[in-house]
Structure 1
């Protein structure tokens, strides 16, 4: 009786380790709403990503450069010229703040964004999968030993 309870507890712990990743995907669904940003001169806007995600960025206007920067690391994720219309897909590597802005040569651009398929950060995923794998492995070992 006691062994069955321990085996059941280990199995339940394996499932509990998966909950952060499952819960995150259920809360944030597939599309995180975006915004419309005028990008001219050095002006722009800031947005937040709930986790690792893909940014779908569409820019329209005359011409200029658009820059997407990670505010946490300072790394430039996109620095591209727009002539009339352009669409970009950019990987946002972690949860946090990002900036969209132009360079001095911009005449007038308007950019819209949507964050697609946000996932929990890789650290959360690694801990979740490693913990659940360890618990399920322990579960199998206990099942074999108790037979």
Structure 2
């Protein structure tokens, strides 16, 4: 992983809760595509670190960190960005990764070695599964290169 950029945005959002509107998602993706084009990164993860919605003005605003990722393969291991999950840190400490993944109905039927934390936000952890290169289907390797995480949506 490489790079860490801070992003601030005001984007139209008419949803009645903390979910992201399609317009907000598209605006963020446009910014992220520019980041990929201007750097050596091939993948990017956008993580809101603070987000507020002004319902009267129908605007969402927030701070985010942008993690630029040059390569998802390292020493025979694949970091599967398409399966990034956000999990409660206290549950991970209390019950362990396998139990927490099951409790949150996260599919773990693929051959993973382990899960690693890549970012902590409030009481949550962004986790990525690690898979041996030989166990990775070619369809997974060419997956989406943009991941957006909104830890404030329930």
> Highest CA radius of gyration, 1 or 2?
1
The one of the two structures with greater contact order (alpha-carbon pairs below 8 A, sep at least 6) is 1
With the length of structure 1 as denominator, give the TM-score of the two structures: 0.27
**TM-score of the two chains, using structure 2 as the length reference:** 0.26
Q: Which has the higher helix share?
A: 1
